[in-house]
């Protein structure tokens, strides 16, 4: 099913956070790897936050298999473009260069939408997400590391992730420890999985300006208008 542009492009109240679903509005949370079928049928999409995208893509397969039963510890560092276009003291190059700091520890605004999505797949999810956001001294990208106790063997974990993302175009399970430049300038998310005893370590990498923002918006637009979902998004990483 395709839709005409006038039907889809409507004036909305930008003062509200439509990423948190409620009966009062008809916005669908626009993470294609979670809500692709709902996005295709909807009229309005709320684009996810950038940190939220990287973290959810790291955890959705676990939630789908009811494996998020212990606290999750999250450390994620973002480039200066994650602060948006409005100038501030902490986004200015002279402060950001050769510098690093944390902000909003345990209280970041993206936690609400992350928990909403995890509960959508695992209704019993009610554990802590201990999230420490970090301002990095680079321009683009999010490098997130997450760990939690998980009794499942690594081979089975990899199978679960590969199965979950098998029919999704932009999420890849890496066999090698990835670096940020492999995703910058792309709409990709790279995930890397390791086990250390009972601890599962997940590395999740995205470009905050593409997969975490405009690229995801284009992906949602493609779904809304019945286009092939990779249209306009076949981009090469800056590493090459």
Number of C-beta neighbours around residue 9 at 10 A: 12
Beta strand segments in 88-220, E: 101-102, 129-135, 142-149, 171-173, 189-196, 199-206
Helix axes 111-121, 32-41, angle to 10 degrees: 80
Element (H, E) at 137: none
* CA–CA separation, 83 and 103 (whole Å): 11
- The two tokens of residue 191 are 């995930």
CA angle, corner 49, sides to 116 and 46, nearest 5?
Answer: 70
- Comparing C-alpha atoms, which of 131, 138, 99 is closest to residue 113? 131
Q: Can you tell me which residue has the tokens 């997400």?
A: 129
Run of H or E residues at 73: strand 72-78
Q: Does residue 189 have an active-site annotation?
A: no
156 vs 82: CA distance, rounded Å? 34
For 124, phi then psi, to 5°, come to -85, -5
The residue behind tokens 């998980």 is 150
> Which member of 42, 50, 150, 189 is catalytic?
50
Active-site residue list:
50
């Amino acid at each position: 099913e395709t839709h005409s542009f006038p039907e889809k492009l409507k004036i909305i109240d930008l003062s509200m956070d439509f990423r948190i679903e409620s009966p009062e509005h008809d916005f669908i949370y626009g993470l294609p790897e979670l809500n692709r079928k709902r996005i295709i049928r909807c009229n309005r999409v709320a684009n996810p936050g950038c940190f939220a995208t990287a973290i959810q893509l790291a955890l959705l397969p676990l939630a789908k298999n009811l494996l998020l039963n212990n606290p999750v510890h999250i450390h994620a560092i973002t480039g200066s473009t994650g602060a948006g276009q409005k100038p501030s003291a902490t986004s200015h190059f002279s402060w950001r260069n050769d510098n690093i700091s944390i902000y909003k520890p345990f209280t970041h605004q993206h936690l609400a939408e992350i928990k909403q999505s995890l509960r959508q797949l695992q209704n019993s999810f009610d554990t802590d997400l201990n999230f420490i956001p970090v301002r990095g001294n680079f321009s683009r990208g999010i490098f997130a590391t997450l760990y939690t106790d998980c009794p499942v063997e690594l081979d089975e974990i990899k199978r679960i992730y590969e199965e979950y993302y098998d029919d999704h175009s932009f999420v890849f399970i890496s066999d090698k420890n990835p670096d940020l430049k492999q995703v910058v300038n792309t709409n990709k998310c790279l995930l890397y999985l390791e086990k250390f005893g009972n601890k599962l370590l997940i590395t999740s990498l995205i470009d905050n300006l593409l997969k975490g923002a405009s690229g995801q918006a284009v992906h949602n637009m493609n779904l809304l208008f019945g286009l092939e979902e990779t249209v306009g998004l076949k981009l090469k990483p800056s590493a090459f």
